[in-house]
Homo-oligomer: A and B are copies of this chain.
Amino acid sequence: MFDNINLVPKMEVIVIGNEVTSGLIEEKNSRYIGRRAMQLGWECTRVTSIGDDAKTITECLGESLSRVDWIVLTGGLGATHDDITKKVLADLFECGWKSDAKVKKMLERLFHIRGKEVPHYAYSQTEVPDEAEVLYNEKGTAPGLLFKRNNQHVFALPGVPLEMEYLFEKYIVPSLEGSGKHKICHRMLHTAGITESALWQKFGPVDPLERWVKVASLPSHLGVKIRLSAEGEEDSDIWHRLDQAESLLRESVGHYIFGVDGETLEYVAGVLLKSRNENLAVAESCTGGLIGSRLTNISGSSSYFLEGMITYSNQAKIQRLGVPANLIGQHGAVSQQVAEAMAQGIRQVSGAHWGVAVTGIAGPTGGTPDKPVGLTYIAVSGADKTHAEKFLFHQDRVRNKERAAQAALNMLRLRLLEAS
C-alpha cells in the first residue's frame, strides 16, 4: 500500500480470553493500543484474539515473535484460576518465581483504602516471574510484566481497560516515543447526512486526492468516514499532505464534514454553542434520552445544555411541552407538526436559545403501513424559525435510535453554522 511501509516500526497485540473469542464481552483494549501506536508513529500490524489455553498462547506468541519485536498481550493476569498468562510467559521465558514486596504493599494499600481485608487468593498477585520487569499497577491488583530477550519486548497487561490504559501510558508509551523515524499518519474526516455513493459522486474521481494521500471510505449506519493516510519522515511533510487532501475534500463536500479524528457531533455542536454564547434544551421521544446523554458526555456541557425532557408518552408531550392534544389527535405523535410543536415547546419552557425535538417509531413494533418502523421527524427551533425534517431509518431499534440522535445533532450543527 505504501512505498516505505517497512520503515515504520511495527507491533502486534495478543488478546487473551475465551470471553473475547466467544463474543461474551466487548473487547476494547486492542483498539486503544492500535490508535495510540499510530499516534506515536508505530503501526499495529496484527491483533490476535485467542482463548485461555496455554498451548495456543505459546504458539501464538511464538508466531508474533517471528514477525515483530514488540508485542503487547492483554488479559489473563487476574488472581482467579482461569488466569494463566503469567504462568505461560514464565515457562516460555524459562523464569523462576519471586515475591515482589512493592506489589504486596500496593495490594494491601488498595484494599485498605476500600476498607477491606485482602482476600487470601489475591496474594498470588505478588508472585512474579524472576526474569520479568514488574509494571506497577496503581489502578488494580494485577501487576503488568515486561519480558525482554534479544531486543524483543513482550509486555503483558491486565485486561481491565482502565488498568491496561494506565500501564500502557506509564510503561510502554515512553519506550515507543521517538522510535519511529518513518511514519504513517492517518486523519479521519467524519461526515453526516450523505450516503457513500452520493459523497463520491459529488467529489468526483479520487485521483487528485491520491496525489497527496491514500484514501479509504468507511461507511456505517451513522455516516461515512473518510480516512486519509500519508507517509514520510518529516512531520511537516506528512501534515502538509494531509492538509492538502483535507482542503480538496472540504472544497466539494465540506458542508457534510462535521469533524476530524476524535471530534463527535456533540462536541462540535457544543463548540458552536459556546462560541455563540447560546444554550440548548432537548425534547426526546423515540431517542429516549440518547441525545441528552451524548451532549452531556462532553466535559463542560453544563455551560450550554440546560435540560432535556424525555416525553415518551403523549401525556408528557402535552403536559411538559404544551403540544396541543388535538395536534396529536389529528396528525399522530409521529408527525412533522408534533415534532415542530415539541421543539418550540422545549425552547419556550426552558428559555433556551435552541430547542431540538425528535419523535419517531424506533421499532420493531408500532409501525403501520402509513407510518412504518423507522419513520422519524426531527425539528430544530431557534429565534428565527422552526424547521423539521422527515427521515426513514431502516435498522433495528437501537440503531434507529442512534441514527435519529446523529441526524438531530447534525441538524442542530447545520442550523448553528447557518446562523453564524
Interface residues of A (CB under 8 A from B): 1, 18-28, 30-38, 43-53, 56, 60, 63, 78, 80-82, 111, 114, 116, 119, 121-122, 160-162, 186, 188, 195, 197-198, 200-201, 206, 214-221, 225, 227, 229, 282, 284, 286-293, 295-297, 299-302, 305-313, 315-316, 320, 350, 362-365, 395, 397-399, 401
> In the complex, what's the smallest C-beta–C-beta distance from A414 to chain B, in angstroms?
22
Instruction: Say yes or no: B401 contacts A297, CB within 8 Å.
Output: yes
Tell me whether B309 and A25 are in contact (CB under 8 A): no
Main SS of chain A's interface residues?
mixed
Most buried by B among A18, A30, A282, A287: A18
User: Among the listed B23, B121, B215, B289, which residue makes an inter-chain contact with A308, where contact means beta carbons less than 8 Å apart?
Assistant: B289
- For the complex of A and B, the 7 pairs showing the least CB-CB separation, nearest first, are A288-B296, A289-B292, A289-B289, A23-B35, A23-B34, A308-B310, A307-B316
Whether B289 pairs with A293 at a CB distance below 8 angstroms is: yes
Min CB distance A181 to B, Å, is 19
Nearest to A305 among chain B residues (CB) is B312
Hey, which chain B residues are within 8 Å of A206, CB to CB?
A: 81
- Assembled-state Cα–Cα distance A163/B33 (Å): 27
Report the separation of the CA atoms of residues A405 and B275 in the bound assembly, to the nearest whole angstrom: 31
Q: How many copies does the complex hold?
A: 2
Contacts of A51 in B (CB 8 A): 1, 43, 45
Alpha-carbon gap, A350 to B78, bound state (A): 46
Tell me the smallest distance from the CB of A220 to a CB of chain B, in Å. Answer: 7
* Residues A162 and B395 in contact in the complex (CB < 8 Å), given A289-B289, A293-B287, A297-B288: yes
Give CA–CA (A37, B49) in the complex, Å.
Answer: 15
Q: Contact check, A25 vs B218: say whether CB atoms are below 8 A apart.
A: yes
A362 to B299 alpha-carbon distance, docked (Å): 8
CA distance A216 to B20 in the complex (A): 12
Provide a sorted-by-A list of 21 A–B residue pairs whose CB atoms are within 8 angstroms.
A1-B53, A19-B227, A20-B34, A21-B45, A22-B43, A24-B38, A24-B188, A25-B225, A45-B56, A47-B47, A82-B215, A161-B221, A162-B221, A288-B297, A293-B293, A296-B312, A299-B362, A307-B311, A307-B316, A307-B320, A309-B310
Q: A316 — which chain B residues lie within 8 A by C-beta?
A: 306-307, 350
* B-side contacts of A161, CB under 8 Å: 220-221
Q: Is the CB of B288 within 8 A of A295?
A: yes
Residues of B within 8 A of A82 (CB): 1, 214-217
Nearest B-chain residue to A26, judged by Cβ: B31
Q: Are B25 and A47 in contact (CB under 8 A)?
A: no
Q: Which of B80, B122, B216 contacts A216 (CB 8 A)?
A: B80
Could you tell me if A122 and B22 are in contact, using CB atoms closer than 8 angstroms? no
Minimum distance in angstroms from A241 CB to a CB of chain B: 17
Q: Which residue of chain B has its CB nearest to the CB of A297? A: B398
Give the residue name and chain of the B residue nearest to A48 (CB): B48
Is there contact, CB below 8 Å, between A23 and B45?
A: no
Tell me the smallest distance from the CB of A270 to a CB of chain B, in Å: 13
- Residues from chain B with Cβ under 8 Å of A47 in the complex: 20-21, 47-49
